[in-house]
Structure 1
Amino acid sequence: MASTMTEPAPLMSSFYAVEAGWIDYNQHMNMGYYTVLFDRAADEAYAEIGFGPEYRDASGCTTYTAEFHVRYLRELKLGDRVQAAFRILDYDEKRFHSYQELIREDGTVVATGEGIALHVDQSGPKVAPMPEAILARLRQVAEQHGKLPRPETAGRGMGLRRRR
């Protein structure tokens, strides 16, 4: 990730290019691949926090996604390059709430993703408390991200708006 834990900025992922196999018959990226991009970027952020493959191998614990919501704001075309801004909005001893923005190279936010992740002991599998070292790192990241304004669309419900 491009940012550091000492900056009050989101964690920024590497750039990813839209692949040919992701383009649908409408000649733009199929909706499912937005989630692929969010997932790849989250893997980078999770490693920064301490949830990478090494942690899983050493502890038998990992993260599972419990819920994930995507907002599609702009279409992506073949070859477009994007990176994700990743933020922790909230956490407790067993889970955390994250918010991401997919940002095209020109600075346009093309999608947002918001999720709840669970800390899971894979021997069950069962949701389990995080060890203090991981929790301390998550706390540090959340404190830095908490200095930023909360995204207006975070926690937003979904439904049809009716004109009255």
Structure 2
Amino acid sequence: MSSQGPLEVKRLKVEPGWIDYNGHMNVAFYLFAFDRGYDVFMDRIGVDQAFRERTGGTIFTGEAHVSYHAELKLDAPIALTLQVIGYDRKRLHTFMTMRHAEEDFLAATVEWMSLFVDLNTRRVAEMPDEIYAALDAIGRAHAALPRPAAVGKSIAMPAPKR
């Protein structure tokens, strides 16, 4: 693993069915694209289909915060990156970016809090050593990266005056 930057996890393009009535990528498909990239990351740390079938272990999303920065239009090429922000045996905090793959502008970000779950009990459980070791290798490399400014950002506006 390189400590030079976040992992590029997936490249794809905006599909015709992802376009909404405003002529750009619908909000739901930003999250869909991020999810496809997160699946690649899960495979990379060993939480793939074979692992799920063998152990009943998987990763669930506990919380996700999406921020939209720029429109993406039909056929736009997308590059997704993922940075591990924090982790322990049960939780995984990641931050992903979606950039236009040719023009390099930031289109969106998502911050995830994920949980390792035992599908047999449907409860949060500890990651097995093999998964934790793979995650730890990436997490250690990413520890040297700057923390994205948007991590931990919340939505807020002043209460209306009455």
Q: Normalising to structure 1: TM-score of the pair?
A: 0.92
Q: How many pairs does the alignment contain? A: 158
Return 5+ residue gaps in structure 2 as ranges. none
Given that 2:99 and 2:108 are in contact with CA atoms closer than 8 Å, whether structure 1 keeps it comes out as yes
* Structure 2 residue 127 is matched with structure 1 residue 126: no
Given that 1:97 and 1:115 are in contact with CA atoms closer than 8 Å, whether structure 2 keeps it comes out as yes
Q: Identity rate of aligned residues, in percent?
A: 36
Could you tell me which amino acid in structure 2 is paired with residue 39 of structure 1?
D
* Structure 2 residue 60 is matched with structure 1 residue 89: no
Q: Distance in 1 between matches of 2:132 and 2:10?
A: 25
Q: CA deviation at 1:161?
A: 5.6
- What is the match of residue 115 of structure 1? 112
Provide the alpha-carbon RMSD of the alignment.
1.3
Could you tell me which amino acid in structure 1 is paired with residue 128 of structure 2?
P
- What is the match of residue 156 of structure 2? 159
Q: Counterparts in 2 of 1:140-159, with a 5 A limit? A: 140-159=137-156
Return 5+ residue gaps in structure 1 as ranges. none
Q: Distance in 2 between matches of 1:146 and 1:39?
A: 23
Could you tell me which amino acid in structure 1 is paired with residue 89 of structure 2?
E
Per-residue displacement from partner, 1:32-69 (whole Å, max 9, x unpaired)?
Answer: 00000000001111111111212111111101101001
Per-residue displacement from partner, 1:111-161 (whole Å, max 9, x unpaired)?
Answer: 000001110000011100001121111111111111111000101111126
- What is the match of residue 36 of structure 2? 40
Q: Distance in 2 between matches of 1:69 and 1:14?
A: 19
SS in 2 for 1:14: strand
Given that 1:89 and 1:146 are in contact with CA atoms closer than 8 Å, whether structure 2 keeps it comes out as yes
Could you tell me which amino acid in structure 2 is paired with residue 146 of structure 1?
A
Which of 72, 80, 88 is residue 68 of structure 2 equivalent to? 72
Q: Normalising to structure 2: TM-score of the pair?
A: 0.93
Q: Distance in 2 between matches of 1:46 and 1:78?
A: 28
Given that 2:64 and 2:113 are in contact with CA atoms closer than 8 Å, whether structure 1 keeps it comes out as yes
SS in 2 for 1:33: helix
Could you tell me which amino acid in structure 2 is paired with residue 79 of structure 1?
D
* Structure 2 residue 132 is matched with structure 1 residue 135: yes
SS in 2 for 1:159: coil
Given that 1:41 and 1:83 are in contact with CA atoms closer than 8 Å, whether structure 2 keeps it comes out as no
Given that 1:89 and 1:142 are in contact with CA atoms closer than 8 Å, whether structure 2 keeps it comes out as yes
Could you tell me which amino acid in structure 2 is paired with residue 113 of structure 1?
V
Could you tell me which amino acid in structure 2 is paired with residue 30 of structure 1?
N
SS in 2 for 1:45: helix
Q: Distance in 2 between matches of 1:51 and 1:84?
A: 19
